[in-house]
Structure 1
Amino acid sequence: MMQVLRPLIITTGLLLIWQLIVWLTDAPTFILPGPLRVLETLFSQFPLLMKHAGVTLIEILLGLMLGVLLGLASALSLVTWGSLRRWLLPVLVVSQAIPVFALAPVLMLWLGYGMTSKIAMATLIIYFPVTAACFDGLRQTPSGYLQLARTLGASRRAQLLQIRLPAALPALGSGLRVAASVAPIGAVIGEWVGSSTGLGYLMLHANARMQVDLMFAALLVLAFMALALYFSVNLIARRLTPWLDESTSSAPRGTS
């Protein structure tokens, strides 16, 4: 019961603080609209918001899927082939010195202003957290498990798929949570640089026309999508690692 009430209490508190700031500052609506004004715009412009939200959601989901698949494949390759690790790992580290957001104009130039460049932007921003988290998890497999597997004659493939990969699931879950958090950022940044659809485009369009209530409504829709995506990924990660919850719940309590 408290798990349902807690988000409602937090949301209500934030809305009250928002409304209080509007009352105290007496800010005009084109600077800071109140929550009731934004909710009214949200309902009145709901079809328009859903049209652009659908485009952004597709970009986020496809970028997340591609980023996770590429990151997982890269981490498995780095662990499997030592020679590839010596060449590829420094490239991955150096690539993170380049701000991903700075690549957005280049992606627009190469891939155009359609959905492809936004998906590529989301994929790039997701790729490294997933690769790094999964690679660390695969490297930190308990050595006793691997020694026992070798003693029993398990092949390298069997060790990877049946021991190292399951042992890396907690770290991979952490990487997936980070990826779910940053995926909307990549898609929206791409829409800000150049687009004719999506919530990022709608926010820029509303800002240029001083429709701040519409901009806030689009931001609320984007925030809801990001939260729904994060909690969905978190649920999947917890289902993949049920032993973590069991170990936490069965942890011994301190003695009095």
Structure 2
Amino acid sequence: MSVRSRRLHKKWRDGIPNLIFLFLCLAVWQISVDFFKLPLWLMPSPAAVIKAFWRTRELLWSHTLTTIWETTTGFILSIALSLVAGLAMVLSPMAKRLFYPLLIVSQTVPLIAVAPLLILWLGYGLLPKILTVVIVCFFPITVSLIEGLEVSDDDLLNLLKSMGASRWQMLYMIRWPNALPSFFAGLKIAATYSVMGAVIGEWLGASSGLGVYLTRSSHSFRTDQVFAAIVAITLLSLFYFVLITGIRRLALPWLNTKQE
């Protein structure tokens, strides 16, 4: 058996308990709904959720496309802004003293309080939702990048400095490669938050998106469709997480080999 086959076999073997646990949870859910004869508006069964998912698949997909566009655009913008802010605060101690406390304080303001202001100032278009995603993703990416850039081998930095290396050369040769694992860890955290940010923006005011679908289904007491929207949001969040994980494996093959 090849090394790749052994890895796939190990992943499949490790995933079996998770699949069994998921199946048991769904079975208990289905049996409980049937046994207690719970109404659809109160608690739909897994079978009812699957039927709602399939019945409204075209409408659900159209709303999902809007959320995908908002999430992807906001996520890319947050990465770009985090790179600029992180590098600036690492290379300039003055910039870090000025802006890092503001970065921390910004996280004390609830997103549910900021999103309505964005809609009030920018309208009901895509821009407020994209900015909501940026606000959600910017903090974990920036903090992870700063932590990774600052945790470097001082001996290597002093060696390069003694050889006349500039700050940019030390950043490129030592700091940036050393920061990549932490940077990707921040990306994975932000990836799970990004869809949530878009949905919150849509929930507060939009014409399309999974947040709109969720709100309309809730107002019409279609709890099965609410659960279908939750499933779609969960799958979309998992997609972004798996995507970042795959990019990390391609970008850091040496780290994957070390971990395995």
TM-score (ref. length: structure 1): 0.92
Deviates more, 1:166-175 or 1:17-26: 17-26
1:27 aligned to 2:24? no
Q: Secondary structure at the match of 2:54?
A: helix
Residue 80 of structure 1 is matched in structure 2 by: 91
Partners of 1:14 and 1:223 in 2: how far apart?
A: 16
User: Residue in 1 aligned with 2:11?
Assistant: 3
- Structure-1 residue corresponding to 2:201: 190
Aligned to 2:124: 113
Q: What's the offset of the Cα at 1:175?
A: 0.4
Q: What is the Cα-based RMSD across aligned positions, in Å?
A: 1.6
Change in Cα spacing, 1:142 to 1:101, as seen in structure 2 (3 Å) is farther
CA distance in structure 1 between the aligned counterparts of 2:21 and 2:164, rounded to whole angstroms: 55
Q: 1:10: Cα distance to partner?
A: 4.1
Please show how residues 60-79 of structure 1 align to structure 2 within 5 Å: 60-79=71-90
1:207 to 2:215 alignment = no
Counterpart of 1:230 in 2: which secondary structure? helix
Q: What's the offset of the Cα at 1:9?
A: 3.3
Paired residue type of 1:136: E
Determine what percentage of the aligned residue pairs are the same residue.
34
Gaps of 5+ in 1: 250-256
Question: Does residue 139 of the first structure (1) align with residue 156 of the second (2)?
Answer: no
Show the 5 A alignment for 1:156-175.
Answer: 156-175=167-186
Q: Deviations 1:87-135 (Å, cap 9, x if unpaired)?
A: 1112112222212221011010011111110000010010011111100
Residue aligned with 1:106, SS: helix
Out of 200, 222, 228, the residue aligned to residue 217 of structure 1 is: 228
Is structure 2 residue 105 aligned with structure 1 residue 97?
A: no
**Greater Cα offset, 20-29 or 114-123:** 20-29
C-alpha distance 228-14 of structure 1, shift in aligned 2 (>3 A): farther
Q: Which amino acid aligns with 1:97?
A: T
Once residues 71 and 226 of structure 1 are traced to their aligned partners in structure 2, the CA distance between those partners, rounded to angstroms, is: 20
The alignment partner of 1:197 has SS state of: coil
CA positional deviation for 1:20? 2.6
* Mapping of residues 30-41 of structure 1, within 5 Å: 30-41=41-52
Q: 2:242 is matched with which residue?
A: 231
Residue 254 of structure 1 corresponds to none
Mean alpha-carbon deviation: is it higher for 45-54 or for 158-167? 158-167
Q: TM-score, normalised by structure 2?
A: 0.90
Alpha-carbon deviation of 1:2?
5.4
* Structure 1 residue ranges, 4+ long, deviating more than 6 angstroms after superposition: none
Alignment length (residue pairs) = 249
Measure, in 2, the Cα distance between the counterparts of 1:57 and 1:167: 31
Per-residue deviation, 1:217: 1.2
Q: Report which stretch shifted further, 115-124 or 234-243.
A: 234-243
- 1:173–1:51 Cα change, 3 Å: same
Of 128-137 and 212-221, the range deviating more from structure 2:
212-221
Gaps of 5+ in 2: 1-8
Secondary structure of the equivalent of 2:238?
helix
